[in-house]
Structure 1
Amino acid sequence: MNNRWILCAVALAAWSTYAVAAPDAGTPSVLVTQTALRQGSLPRTIEAYGVVQASAAASRTVMATTSATVQTLYVREGEAVGAGAPLMQLVPSPQTTAAYIQAQSALRVAEQLSARTTQMFAQHLATAQQLADAQKAESDAQSNLAALKAQGAGGAQVLRAPFRAIVLHLSASQGTVVSAGSPLLDLASPEKSILKVGAVPAQAMLVGSGNAARVTAVGEDQSWPATVLQRGAMIDPATGLVPIEIALPPGRFLPGEAADAAITVGQTQGYVVPHAAILVDDHGGTYVVQDDGLKARKVAVSIAGAHQDQDVIRGDGLNPSQPLVLSGNYQLDDGMSMRIEQQGKKGEQ
């Protein structure tokens, strides 16, 4: 009889221990996955939108060197041309042609005068000063004619692209009479494009030359690394924003293309967590769920920063020794039991 009572007592003690250590089979639990809560940092970025433009250092306006008529156009706006490709043909205007003929005539007269004066000087019929004046007149006439030739006054000339370029704008059409110094067309190198964006003053003050950026064309998913060239020191009155120029990788963007830039202006410190760990309550507050001995513990947090699919969170109630619940967290409330999903058993319910 004593042995029977002893066996019953042992069985009762064992059952009591199991009841404390293991969850009640009748208590519902939620299957979850977890991750450790770790301190870290994420890039702090600002977003800005703008349009791809040609860099001022890589742009050139081709101008008329003399009064002329545009006889032939070989290119159109938006066309890509190679170095040395013909752009347009100019023929001298009547006024330019007349000036060139006069310069030729003046040179012949000056050459004849210089020759006669040289002979007279040899015969002691002209002074050294007269000879010097005649020679100078000849030199001046030669220089004047050479300048007109260089300007294209001697005949039709073909203007060619000084480098591989995109024709941004045509200022003259076929048959147009242009004067010296008139713009004919604008060229830009496709290898040196910039993205010109605008930022509100408070954000722009965080940006500096050399800041890294990621640029994404509107409608595209792929982003490309870029670098801030300069930040404006005043507000553009047309937009109310501070202009920022960003150097783009060669060959990735087209002039006129709209793009978004994420500019890195620093680092945000805190707990770095996957975005899936953050939930929003009925009042709009953000919170996460931690594992307190297989019991759910909801912790209110603030989001200090975000980058791609990660966030930096802060909260006085966060306990770095307690794992952070990822999947299944939306089903949990304070004190609810949970069980951890084991690898290879993702189909368990």
Structure 2
Amino acid sequence: MFQKVFLTVLLSGCLGVGLNVARADDGSSILVTTAAITQGSLPQVVTMYGSIATAAPAQQTLVAPLQAQVRDVYVRAGAVVAQGAPLLRFMPTPASELAYTQAESAAKLATALQQRTETLVMGHMATDQQLFQANKDAADARATLASLKAQGADGPHIMRAPFKAIVTSVNAAPGAVVAAGDALVGIAPPDKLELAAGVVPDQANAVNVGDAVVLTPIGQGPAINGKVSFRAAVVEASNGLVPVDIEVLGGQAMLGEMFRADVTVGQVSGYIVPHDAVLVNPAGQTYIVQDNKGAAKFVVVQVLNSTQDQDVVRGPVDINAPVIRSGNYQLNDGDKIRLSDDAGDSGK
């Protein structure tokens, strides 16, 4: 009997507390902070990622001028070299040396025949046509010899950097025999760099050559400026992205360094509200809560553009009513609100 009475009293006490809480909440207000709504625009930004490479139009490949054997390699990929710096040394192969020796002999013989023909013409023992042919043969022989000499067939030859450059590749090792035209060293100007990036296909058409870009290194370091120099019209099969090249306009960047690229592709206009003022209801609709003369008013909006701090929205917004940015997730439509002391420009 005692247990039943005790249980009844206990339940009555609990129910009484519950009713008291409900009555305490009835007619109460929720503390919020607000911000003013403005009309304006925010930049529309497409974000992509990539790594620094040498600009394709500025790349050069130094090739073997003739068949030769590489004796020494003085540089490695990634090095920065001054104009005129030695890159590698090579010697002509026996076949190249033979070609030079034969060209040298042919030039001497052609010159001697030229001089003899000139003498014969003066003695009326040869025709002008024969002299013309002798002159041509001598000129051709000297040109062939000069070409082989310029290629390095006359002895050891050092390949030098034609300008201050970054060495992008070295394709020869000491002892290697290379043919004429084989790629030996790749170089590029150190101030002609670009970000090789990629954008998802549904955003690619918004990106155009000339668009301004802010490049932020992955990790630490200051942001640098750039601009879009190329945007492909096809999807790269290897990664499903559309290739985009971004010219680096200033600042320090290293080959292979990773960057985030924020490309400004336009402006989006509408109502500007704080990012934390935009909520999503159970139906998946985005909405804001406005201060309607001390009561919460739910307004369904469409988010047109979003940044870290602000959103551009469209909808039946009252620009004269502040938007609630904190405490909004606790509210129901029509709830009474009260402003905190740090409401700022809440429109009190």
Pairwise TM-score range, normalised by the shorter structure? 0.7 to 0.9
Task: For residue 175 of structure 1, give the secondary structure of its aligned residue in structure 2.
Answer: coil
Task: For residue 341 of structure 1, give the secondary structure of its aligned residue in structure 2.
Answer: coil
Q: How does 1:3-22 map onto structure 2 within 5 Å?
A: none
Amino acid at match of 2:126: A
Distance 1:225 1:32 in 2: 40
Distance 2:130 2:97 in 1: 32
**CA displacement 1:24-51 (0-9 Å, x = unmatched):** xx96444443321111111122222223
Amino acid at match of 1:319: D
**Paired residue for 1:187?**
187
Shift of 1:222: 4.1
Shift of 1:282: 5.5
Say how many residue pairs are matched.
Answer: 319
**CA displacement 1:230-272 (0-9 Å, x = unmatched):** 2212333333332222111245322222332222222222211
**Paired residue for 2:4?**
none
Distance 1:232 1:111, change over 3 A: same
**Residue 175 of structure 2 is aligned to residue 168 of structure 1:** no
Task: For residue 210 of structure 2, give the secondary structure of its aligned residue in structure 1.
Answer: coil
Distance 2:239 2:194 in 1: 19
**Paired residue for 2:9?**
none
**Paired residue for 1:41?**
41
Distance 2:311 2:223 in 1: 20
Distance 1:36 1:84 in 2: 64
Amino acid at match of 2:55: S
**Paired residue for 2:22?**
none
Distance 1:189 1:306, change over 3 A: same
**Paired residue for 1:320?**
319
**CA displacement 1:167-219 (0-9 Å, x = unmatched):** 11111111111111000011122211112222233321222111122222333
Quote the RMSD (CA, aligned, Å): 2.4
Shift of 1:308: 3.4
Distance 1:185 1:235, change over 3 A: same
Amino acid at match of 1:118: E
Distance 1:58 1:151 in 2: 24
**Paired residue for 2:57?**
57
Shift of 1:226: 1.6
Distance 1:273 1:284 in 2: 19
Amino acid at match of 1:159: M
**CA displacement 1:93-150 (0-9 Å, x = unmatched):** 1111111111111111111111222222212222222222222211111111111111
Distance 1:291 1:341 in 2: 15
Q: Which runs of 5+ in 1 are unaligned?
A: 1-25, 345-349
Amino acid at match of 1:196: A
Task: For residue 65 of structure 1, give the secondary structure of its aligned residue in structure 2.
Answer: coil
* Matched-pair contact (CA < 8 Å) for 1:190–1:251: no
* Matched-pair contact (CA < 8 Å) for 2:69–2:175: yes
How much identity, in percent, do the aligned residues show? 42
Distance 1:171 1:102, change over 3 A: same
**Paired residue for 1:4?**
none
**Paired residue for 1:71?**
71
Distance 1:92 1:204, change over 3 A: same
Q: Which runs of 4+ in 1 moved over 6 A?
A: none
* Matched-pair contact (CA < 8 Å) for 1:192–1:250: no
**CA displacement 1:278-305 (0-9 Å, x = unmatched):** 2344565433222222333233333221
Amino acid at match of 1:325: I
Does 30-39 or 177-186 show the bigger shift? 30-39
TM-score by length of 1: 0.83
**Paired residue for 1:297?**
297
Does 51-60 or 172-181 show the bigger shift? 51-60
Amino acid at match of 2:243: P
* Matched-pair contact (CA < 8 Å) for 1:191–1:251: no
* Matched-pair contact (CA < 8 Å) for 2:31–2:337: no
Distance 1:251 1:165 in 2: 17
* Matched-pair contact (CA < 8 Å) for 2:214–2:226: yes
Does 182-191 or 294-303 show the bigger shift? 294-303
Distance 1:225 1:125 in 2: 77
* Matched-pair contact (CA < 8 Å) for 1:97–1:154: yes
**Residue 337 of structure 2 is aligned to residue 337 of structure 1:** yes
Q: How does 1:304-315 map onto structure 2 within 5 Å?
A: 304-315=304-315
Task: For residue 154 of structure 2, give the secondary structure of its aligned residue in structure 1.
Answer: coil
**Paired residue for 2:3?**
none
**Paired residue for 1:210?**
210
Distance 1:209 1:141 in 2: 52
Amino acid at match of 2:167: V
**CA displacement 1:32-80 (0-9 Å, x = unmatched):** 4332111111112222222322111211001011111111111011112
Distance 1:157 1:304, change over 3 A: same
TM-score by length of 2: 0.84
